[in-house]
Each structure stands twice: as C-alpha cells, then as structure tokens.
Amino acid sequence: MANSYNKGILRGFAGRLKKIFGHNIATIIFGILFLYMALSAVFYMTSNHIESYQVISGPLSSNETYTGLCIREENVVKSESGGYVNYYAREGTKINANGAVYGLSPTRTQESDIKLSQEELARIREQMLSFSKGFNPSNFNNTYSFKSQLEGTILQYQGVTGQSNYTAALTYEELMDKQNDGQDTVNGAGATVTLGNQTISKALSDGIILYSKDGYEGKTLETITTEDFDQNSYHETDLKTKNMVKAGDEIYTIITDERWSLLIPLSDKQAVKLSNRNYVRVKFLKDDMTQSGSFSIVKLDGAKYGKIDFEKGLIRYASERFLDIELVTNTVTGLKIPLTSIVTKDFYTIPSNFATVDPNTDAKSFMVTRKINGKKEKLVITPTIYSSVANPKKNLKGTPEYDDEEIVYTYYVDCNSFQKGDTITIENSQTKFIVGDTAPLEGVYCINQGYAVFRRITVLDQNEEYAIISKNTAYGLTRYDHIVRNAQNVKEEDILY
C-alpha cells in the first residue's frame, strides 16, 4: 500500500512539473523572439542607413531644348501676267539665276494619269518618316504645313515628269538650245521668255524656291516682336494652284541668301548660363543633324532672346519657320556620381627614382630598411601605386618645363604598405628617403563585394549635386559599379552586408 501511495504521489508531482515546465518553454521562446525583434527595430532606427548608388555613364545634365524662329532673306514673287501655271523648279531646291521657275499658258494643261517612280515614292516616304519622328502634339498646326508641303512635292513630281518636257531649273541658254534643236521658238529676254504658247518666268538671282508664304518674309531683327513667336497664331498660305492666276498674284517665295538666323526665347537663368558663349553647337531635332553657329543675346520688347547665326545648312530647313533644337552645351561626358560619395584618403608620397622596376612585369618595388624588435631589417616591398604625378623642372621664370632628362614622378602608395619612418634606399647609392610625407587623393567607397573599398577618381566637371569623373582612372570605377552614396557614414573596409 505504501509503495502504491508513494508512486501515485510521484506521478502527480511529475505531471504537475511537466505541465509547468512545458508552459515556461513556450513563454521563454516567445520572449526571446519578442526581445530579438524589439532590439532589431531599435538598432535599425538608431543606426546609419547605408544607401548604395549604381554608377552610370553620361553628361552632367541633359541639354536644354528650345523652339527657334527662323529669320532669313526672302521675298515673295508676283506674276507679271495671267494664265495657267506650270511649275518647273522643284520646291525646296536651289535654283541658279536665270533658271526657269514657272510658266504661264493661256489654256490649262491637259491632265494625264501620272504614276510616280519608285525613287519619288521613296523620297515621299522619307519626308513622312522624318515628320513622324519629330511630331509634337502641342504643335499640331505643323501638320497642315506638312500637308501643303507634301502636296506641293507630289505636284512638282507630276509637273516635272508628266506635264512638261522641261526639267527643273532650266536656264536661258538651255531654252535657246531647244530653239536651235528645232523643238520650240524662244522669244524675249530678261525675267521672262516665250516658249511656244508659254511665258517662262526665270529667277533673277540664285536662291531656294518655296511655293508658300507665311507673312514673315522681309522680317528682320528690328521688326520681329514677341507676338511673332506664338505658334498658335502662325499660318502658312499655299501658293500652288491649278487655277488661272492674274497679273499681280503671288506665285512663289525665293530665299536669296544662304546665311540665316534662329531666335530662341531665354529665361533670366538661361541667359546667365549662356552669357559667356560666342559660339554654340546646335542639334536639330527634325533630323538629328548638328551644326555650329555664332551666338549672341538680344532684347525684344524687354525680353531676352538668343540669336544663333549660321553660314550654311538653310536648304535642309527652308520650308520650316519654327525649328525645335537642342543646344549642345554639356559636352563633358564620363561616369556620373553624387558629390556625397566623394571622400579623400591620405597616401604616402615617394619619388619614383627610388623604385626598382621589374623588366618582365613592370612591377615597381622599394628596398626598405625597418626596425623590427629593435633590429634593422631589409625588406623589398611592392606596393600598389594609386597615382603618379610628374614633377617637371622649373626654369628661371618659375614656369614648369620638360626636357630630355628623365622626369621624376611622385608615387602615391597606400599607407598600409609602409610604416612611418621606413628608410628607402637605392641599390649602390647612399641616397635615402624617409617615409612620412602624405598627400590626399579623391575617391569613393566601392561596395561590389559587400565591404567598403577605396577607389580613386578624377573629377572632370561638377555641379551642385553630381560630378563627372574620368572612365580611365587607374584603380578607379567602371560603369555599373555600386558605391556608397553617403560616404561620410562609412569607413574603409567596413562590412556593409
């Protein structure tokens, strides 16, 4: 009985102990997890967060775009008589003085079923593709100008290839040749000649022919106003027609000078930025062509405008009054990094004439005498040379100069490679150099491997936020490297992740 009673007591006590112990284990585990999460949250909120930055390539900032107003020397030519018009000079092409521009006949030329050649169709497709690439919905009025231009091109192809035997830009001498060949009778001289039943009108000067007008012909810098820059009020009139014209009707526009100008509106900030420029390089967004022009800042009605003068290239944009352009002012390119990533690091500076160069590997080593445990020992150290700067001799005027003698460089080596007070000697020489002088180099902390590694940089240009650095710096960066954005929060060789 006693044994059974004792066994019952033990079993009851063990059950109670197991029940209490089991509850405590769950509580302890939960408490540990809660404490871990709480400490992690505290550490995260109080620690410095290391943000990385991926190195990219490009300019310091994007170039600004503008819409320029074209000013050129041009005038509208009127018909001297009446009749039906046959066009001989193709629109947008250059014509020589005495070249045939159009002809007038008393009767309408009989139309025929004209098919364009594959070459002509290809040119039209190119024009349509060029317009599509540069289309801007905010300047939808340009669509109507392009429609007129396209219709004129097709009309010119038909007129030149189908309705007439005369090619574009016929000269007076070519017309006389036709008379001599017995093809037609030519009468008259000067601005017009008679060829059969047609009166052929010739260009009085070299120029570019347009069969449209927009009211800007004859405008100069002195007569341009701020209202002229409103593209919503811009209207172009198509002068091409198949109807009879009367004497005094406007027939075509001729641009008589290859020199032309673009006026672009400037804000005060843009004017200050461009104030020291005499020349600028311009990229035309219509066809991605670039061209340089002389630059000046002018005032119109109290507002500031940039005036870009060109000596050539007008024929490409003769049919355009407004041109979207990009001023190529940011020409320095390289690797782009934040200024907050830049740090400086001190390096020992050692003259290059104390180095021994391995002829096979080109490695540079130094013979060092160092005290170790109170004894002087000789070591050969081959450090990483982060930079080498030439030390040219100076003439009597203090100006650096290079001569045929060997140039001595200053090597920048990591301070971990030497100890302050190390003595560097040259073999078979009593000359010594004591390590101790330091100089800083700019760099960043690269974290590709998860810890901070110093990489040297050479700054080419910078603004308030970013710097452009060279791509070809020894022990430097490459595109897509990851660096520390806020370098002041990190030390070299810190493990970040």
Residues 208 and 119 grouped into a single domain: yes
Q: Which H helix or E strand runs over 16?
A: helix 2-46
Please work out, in degrees rounded to the nearest 5, the angle formed at the alpha carbon of residue 277 by the alpha carbons of 275 and 280.
125
Does residue 363 fall inside a structural domain? yes
**What whole-number percentage of the chain has pLDDT above 90?**
43
Mean pLDDT for all residues in the chain:
81
Two tokens, residue 181: 């060949």
Stretch among 143-147, 155-159, 215-219 having the lowest mean pLDDT: 155-159
Question: Which pLDDT does position 169 carry in this prediction?
Answer: 41
Best mean pLDDT range from 135-149, 185-199, 246-260: 246-260
Does residue 271 fall inside a structural domain? yes
pTM attached to this predicted model:
0.58
Question: Which pLDDT does position 187 carry in this prediction?
Answer: 42
- Alpha-carbon Rg for the chain, nearest whole angstrom, is 41
Total Cβ atoms within 10 A of residue 376: 9
Does residue 19 fall inside a structural domain? no
3 state SS of 181: coil
Closest CA to 457 of 433, 441, 440, 446: 441
Residues 220 and 310 grouped into a single domain: yes
Question: Taking the mean position of all CA atoms in its chain, how far away is CA 242?
Answer: 46
Residue 179 predicted with pLDDT over 50: no
Residues 244 and 314 grouped into a single domain: yes
**Please, which pLDDT band fits residue 14 given cuts at 50, 70 and 90?**
low
Two tokens, residue 447: 């974290």
Closest CA to 452 of 424, 428, 484: 484
Select from 297, 327, 357 the last residue of a domain: 327
Question: Which pLDDT does position 170 carry in this prediction?
Answer: 46
Select from 288, 306, 327 the last residue of a domain: 327
Residue 480 predicted with pLDDT over 50: yes
Residues 245 and 150 grouped into a single domain: yes
**Please, which pLDDT band fits residue 245 given cuts at 50, 70 and 90?**
very high
Residues 310 and 220 grouped into a single domain: yes
Does residue 46 fall inside a structural domain? no
Residues 375 and 303 grouped into a single domain: no
Residues 261 and 360 grouped into a single domain: no
> What is the DSSP secondary structure assignment for residue 495, as one 8-state letter?
B
Residue of higher predicted confidence among 431 and 173 = 431
Stretch among 73-87, 396-410, 441-455 having the lowest mean pLDDT: 396-410
Question: Which pLDDT does position 186 carry in this prediction?
Answer: 41
Does residue 314 fall inside a structural domain? yes
Residues 272 and 371 grouped into a single domain: no
Question: Which pLDDT does position 54 carry in this prediction?
Answer: 94
Q: Domain range for residue 213?
A: 65-327
3 state SS of 110: coil
Two tokens, residue 199: 């009166």
Does residue 35 fall inside a structural domain? no
Residues 278 and 408 grouped into a single domain: no
Select from 327, 352, 382 the last residue of a domain: 327
Does residue 263 fall inside a structural domain? yes
- The answer to whether 65 and 471 have CB atoms below 8 angstroms apart is no
Closest CA to 263 of 282, 236, 245, 290: 282
Residues 151 and 296 grouped into a single domain: yes
Residues 158 and 252 grouped into a single domain: yes
Does residue 479 fall inside a structural domain? yes
The arithmetic mean of pLDDT across residues 28-54, rounded, is 75
Residues 422 and 356 grouped into a single domain: yes
**Please, which pLDDT band fits residue 360 given cuts at 50, 70 and 90?**
confident
**Please, which pLDDT band fits residue 180 given cuts at 50, 70 and 90?**
very low
The arithmetic mean of pLDDT across residues 289-317, rounded, is 93
The arithmetic mean of pLDDT across residues 463-472, rounded, is 90
Q: Give 360-395 as a DSSP string.
A: TT--EEEEEEEEETTEEEEEEE---EEEEEEE-EE-
CA distance 477 to 202: 65
Question: Which pLDDT does position 308 carry in this prediction?
Answer: 96
3 state SS of 290: strand
Structural domains of the chain, count: 2
